[in-house]
């Protein structure tokens, strides 16, 4: 099993943590990777972990990836005053680093601008009746580079989090994550296996556009016949599972260095837009003029209100995005 999370997991874990043990409120997740490590602490040690001190204010962090997972788990541990202050500083420093990165992008060319420009390019292609995928390559590269820089900032903060915790606390944190994942895995198995066929992302995208554009049966068949077998973002799902498992397993050991762990997040950030472009390249030729006009308007609106890709319910973003004081939330 893996360590992917859902919003339902987040709510459940916060309740459990306040009642009995310190578990990550947003960072367990699930997926199709390997099961819990044999070195994970027994459930009795998890239950014995004291809950977070009522004297400490909650710490929110705007972070994706392993940092989001482990940081939120750490805030539910019984922290010393100086440790709590250190975690507050880590979150504050990361906000400042993200603000500085956005300031550098103010002149254009940053991942936000490139994401908007990519969807503006797609909107223009829809109006013209053809998507030229080759024109999208520069946008993909800039989006990937921006995601890489953000991941590097978060990796540095994760190293600081590791240094702030004592060995026993790190062991407890990992045990809590694994125990919560076991519970989540049981619930997932009870729901049964997913339907076979095309990956969910492809089917959901087709269903969305079928509804929004009121595609006729013949149009749906023509689109479905030419769809890619799977989205690139789906391919990264298992990679993310393995990556997060590696980070969590290493976190309780001496010599942990998150900068040495390669991430697939930058490529997945690119894939989020690239998959959309490939899908539209198949969809646009079967659309009627009024449908193309509606789709172009939809994409134009998105180009003005998009932020760079942020993983949700994925292994590099367990628990979804965190929220701070609002910094960074403006598209």
The answer for residues whose C-beta is within 8 angstroms of residue 281's C-beta and 6 or more apart is: 130, 131, 133
pTM: 0.65
Rg, C-alpha atoms of the chain: 21
Distance between CA atoms of residues 71 and 60, nearest Å: 9
CB atoms within 10 A of CB 240: 28
List per-residue pLDDT tens for the chain, 331 residues long.
Answer: 444 443 344 343 333 333 333 333 333 333 333 343 433 333 333 333 444 444 678 898 888 778 988 999 999 999 999 999 999 999 999 999 988 887 776 665 567 778 888 888 999 999 999 998 888 988 888 888 888 888 899 999 999 999 999 999 999 999 999 988 888 778 777 765 544 444 567 778 888 889 999 999 999 999 988 887 766 666 676 777 788 888 999 999 999 998 888 787 788 888 888 888 988 999 999 999 999 999 998 888 876 544 433 333 322 233 333 333 333 333 3
| Distances 7 to 68, 80, 239 between C-alpha atoms, Å | 14, 29, 21
Residue 250: other Cβ atoms inside 10 A: 18
- Tally of CB atoms within 10 A around 299: 22
Return phi, psi of residue 62, to 5°.
-90, 90
147 close to 310: Cβ distance less than 8 angstroms: no
Q: How far apart are CA 284 and CA 159, in angstroms?
A: 46
Report d(CA 142, CA 144) in Å as an integer: 5
User: Residue 320 region, left (φ>0) first, then alpha (ψ -120 to 50), else beta?
Assistant: left
Nearest-angstrom CA–CA distance, 243 and 316: 8
Alpha carbons within 13 angstroms on the beta-carbon side of residue 234 total 14
CA-to-CA separations, 194 to 31, 183, 190, 207, in angstroms, rounded: 12, 19, 11, 17
The DSSP output letter for 316 is G
- Per-residue pLDDT reduced to its tens digit, 218-255: 999 999 888 877 666 666 767 777 888 889 999 999 99
Residue written as tokens 């005053």? 81
Report the sign of the C-alpha dihedral through residues 11, 169, 327, 260, in that order.
negative
């Amino acid at each position: 099993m893996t360590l992917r999370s859902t919003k339902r997991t987040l709510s459940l874990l916060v309740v459990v943590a306040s009642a009995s043990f310190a578990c990550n409120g947003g960072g367990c997740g699930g997926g199709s990777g390997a099961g819990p490590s044999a070195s994970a602490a027994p459930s009795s040690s998890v239950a014995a972990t004291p809950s977070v001190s009522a004297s400490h204010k909650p710490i929110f962090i705007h972070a994706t990836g392993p940092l989001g997972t482990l940081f939120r788990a750490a805030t539910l541990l019984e922290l010393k005053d100086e440790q709590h202050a250190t975690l507050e500083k880590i979150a504050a420093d990361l906000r400042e680093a993200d603000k500085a990165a956005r300031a550098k992008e103010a002149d254009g060319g940053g991942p936000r601008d490139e994401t908007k420009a990519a969807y503006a390019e797609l909107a223009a292609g829809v109006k013209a009746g053809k998507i030229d995928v080759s024109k999208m390559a520069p946008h993909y590269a800039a989006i990937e580079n921006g995601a890489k820089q953000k991941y590097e900032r978060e990796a540095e903060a994760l190293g600081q989090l590791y240094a702030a915790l004592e060995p026993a606390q790190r062991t407890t944190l990992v045990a809590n994550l694994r125990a919560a994942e076991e519970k989540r895995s049981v619930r997932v198995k009870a729901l049964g296996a997913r339907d076979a066929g095309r990956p969910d992302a492809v089917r959901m995208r087709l269903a969305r556009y079928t509804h929004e554009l009121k595609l006729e049966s013949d149009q749906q068949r023509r689109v479905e016949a030419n769809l890619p077998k799977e989205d690139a973002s789906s391919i990264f799902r298992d990679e993310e599972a393995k990556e997060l498992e590696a980070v969590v397993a290493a976190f309780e050991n001496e010599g942990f260095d998150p900068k040495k762990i390669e991430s697939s997040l930058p490529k997945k950030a690119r894939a989020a837009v690239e998959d959309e472009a490939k899908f539209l390249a198949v969809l646009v030729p079967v659309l009627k003029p009024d449908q193309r006009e509606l789709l172009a308007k939809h994409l134009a609106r998105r180009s003005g209100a998009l932020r760079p890709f942020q993983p949700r319910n994925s292994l590099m973003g367990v628990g979804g995005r965190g929220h701070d004081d609002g910094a960074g939330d403006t598209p």
